[in-house]
A and B are shown apart, each in its own frame.
Chain A
Amino acid sequence: MSGNEVLLEVDDLKKHFKVNQGWIASLVESFGRGEPDYVHAVDGVSFELREGETLGLAGESGCGKTTTGMSLVKLHDPTAGDIVYDDTRLSEASDAEIKQFRQNAQMIFQDPFESLNPRMTVYDTVAEPLRIHDIRNETARVQRALEFAELLPAEHYFDQYPHELSGGQRQRVAIARALVLDPDFIVADEPVSMLDVSLRAGVLSLLDRMTDEFGLSVVYISHDLSLLRHMCDRLAIMYMGKIVEKGPTDQIIENPQHPYTQALINAVPVPDPAVGRERVELQGEVGDVIDIPTGCRFKNRCSEYIGDVCDQVVPPLEAKTDFEQDVACHLYDSAEGYDPYQEMTGSPSAAETGDEPESTPADD
């Protein structure tokens, strides 16, 4: 993984979904109070993906990691922000450039029972992207892709339907389909979470080989931190549509800084009863993604809540003075001298450093 060139740049990506309410309600609303409700699935995410790099997106259910992944392969059009691929902004790209992008961006889905068309044979499934893009040597390419995915002998699988295959075999077919176009990067959305534990290792080592031999960049989306630690060069932790911590995998796992990351890592079981560890248990539920709270989105569940600054100022994801990774939290000093207290609405001078910690998790 030596390539350092930036392949894909995500720039303040936002994806909001309108809350569906039927046409009568929306008609009434257009005369009434105007603003419809939106689910803020992804709310300002920025990162970059370098060539040959594996990036992990982690977070609990509903934090927007899958929506981010789908936006990366243009399954969603972003509400705001943009994705830059190979110096092309996707929002301004021409049809030919989009086609080129489609050829180089692939996705592996979570559920191998749903991601293959039940009425298409393995051969047709894998050959479909080639037909769409008019690529020659269909048979040879399909065979090569299936062989790479360790479905041997490949000819044996050509005419089989998905219901004749096991979960692991299906996921291998899905991987072969993603690889057959020779893409530049792949988004893998929980690629092994639906598989039996006994099959996971095989599929994971296949994914590992894929990154090595193809020089692929991969974005892994998962809630399984131990898997991400095994697979990824860098990690980004998401919470309620925002990245709260981003940096090299080892740094984040061994030295997490954001209270949410700490809680996540603490939740991973350690197979050693002798390891004593400070338990940080998360209180409460994920906040409302329709009516976004002011300030820090994690404030209600945070064990390190430090008062008004958390309530009023959205912590930016920025480099901090003391460690390598970027963190979005007011607990740490900004490396670039950003002072969140200057943005507070009340008396800016009164709230200087070291506000007395109000340890009670506020419940508003």
Chain B
Amino acid sequence: MAQEEQSTRSIYTDLDDASTDEEINKWERTFRLWRETLKEHWGMLTDELSVKLSMLTVAGFMIIAIFAPFIATHQPLQRQFQGDAGIIQDKWAEPSLLGGDTEYLLGTTAEGFDIFSQLVYGTRAALLVGLIAAFFTAGIGTLVGLVAGYYGGKVDDALMRIVDFLYGMPLLPTVIVLVAVLGPDLWNIILALIILQWRSTARVIRSQSLSLRERPFVKAAEVAGAGDWHIISRHLAPNVLPMTFLYGSFGIAWAILAEAGISFIGLGDPNTVSWGTMLQASRAYSALSFGAWWWFVPPGICIGLLVISGFLIGRGYEEITNPKIQ
């Protein structure tokens, strides 16, 4: 076949001989295109005030989480003692903001822990759970969705039956059972959340890739001889990526809420301070009836702020991926 090809006329004939033609620097070019796309998306995203504020909030929490040891005034799980004698625990100290003990910015708990320090370290747990769970739920969901949607048939059936099975399990009760079995550890909570949350991403990405697979540009790649993996990675994945990001940002908020819920029930990690465990402890010591509102209000506000920010960013990104809802 090769000989025949050469005998026919071709506008490329001279190019086959001359091999020293300058090629475009691929890496530089790819990098530049990525930067342009990101810049464009960033511009659209930060166009809206609510999204901008949400991003500032998340960024603020991130800084707090990273520099927690420098910001916190005390060890979060170290009991505070009154005076130098070291005998009596410093319980229920009022916040220094309200004219209480100058040592404790937000007061202390019934157990004698510094609330401000707990709040600062709790940010770490919240962001850890949120980011890791969201990363893996979006990642696994996208991969499963792409494979199921592209291959279809039996592969699709098998994967989607697994998703259906997971859909049959209610989130919180299942996570409670899993954590009860695996042990109350922050990583087990994250694992349980990942196992249950990739289902919705997988479904949406599958439906997207089902329709993408039939588009002529995928057919064109097939005609050119592209393999399955090439089509999935070059043609399907870039087109579902905005959806992945969207589900990722919603996933952050969901995971933080779920972790707070689990901790509040009492299945949280006893060795880690999270906002959920703070709420749980304040309930256990009936802070509400003692009027010690400074114990449970700050973690509640933090959970609310972070979750709302996550949703608002997701919402803002949704407008990019789906211009119809603008």
Contact = CB atoms under 8 A, between A and B. Distances in A.
B15 A140 contact: yes
A273 to B, nearest CB: 40
A128 B12 contact: no
Contact of B15 (A111, A137, A214): A137
Given A182-B10, A182-B12, A140 B21 contact: yes
Interface in B199-241: 215-217, 219-226, 230, 234-235, 238-239
Given A75-B222, A117-B235, A119-B238, A139 B9 contact: no
Given A114-B216, A139-B22, A214 B10 contact: yes
B33 interface: yes
A195 B23 CA distance: 34
A128 B9 contact: no
Contacts of A141: 12, 15
B157 A213 contact: no
Given A102-B224, A138-B24, 8 more contacts: A106-B224, A107-B219, A115-B219, A132-B224, A132-B226, A133-B224, A136-B19, A137-B19
A137 B16 contact: yes
B8 interface: yes
Residue among B5, B12, B224 having the largest count of chain A Cβ atoms under 10 Å: B224
Which residue, of B19, B24, B217, B238, has the highest number of chain A Cβ atoms within 10 A? B217
Contacts of B157: 23
Interface residues of B, number: 34
Contact of B5 (A129, A144, A184): A184
A99 B24 CA distance: 26
A226 interface: no
B139 to A, nearest CB: 19
A316 B219 CA distance: 33
Interface size class of A (residues with CB under 8 A): 35 or more
Nearest to B32: A159
B21 A148 contact: no
A34 B157 CA distance: 22
23 contacts: A86-B4, A102-B224, A104-B5, A106-B223, A107-B219, A107-B220, A107-B223, A115-B216, A115-B217, A132-B224, A137-B16, A138-B23, A139-B22, A139-B23, A140-B15, A144-B12, A144-B15, A158-B24, A174-B220, A177-B220, A181-B224, A182-B10, A214-B11
A114 B215 contact: yes
B1 A104 contact: yes
B216 to A, nearest CB: 4
A105 B222 CA distance: 11
B157 to A, nearest CB: 7
Residue with the greatest number of chain B CB neighbours at <10 A, chosen from A133, A140, A174: A140
A86 B1 contact: yes
B31 to A, nearest CB: 13
A121 B222 CA distance: 18
Given A139-B24, A144-B12, A215-B8, A109 B19 contact: no
A110 B223 CA distance: 15
Nearest to B235: A117
B226 to A, nearest CB: 5
A115 B15 contact: no
Contact of A148 (B11, B22, B238): B11
Contacts of A249: none
Given A100-B1, A144-B11, A184-B5, A117 B239 contact: yes
Contacts of B10: 182, 214
A68 to B, nearest CB: 15
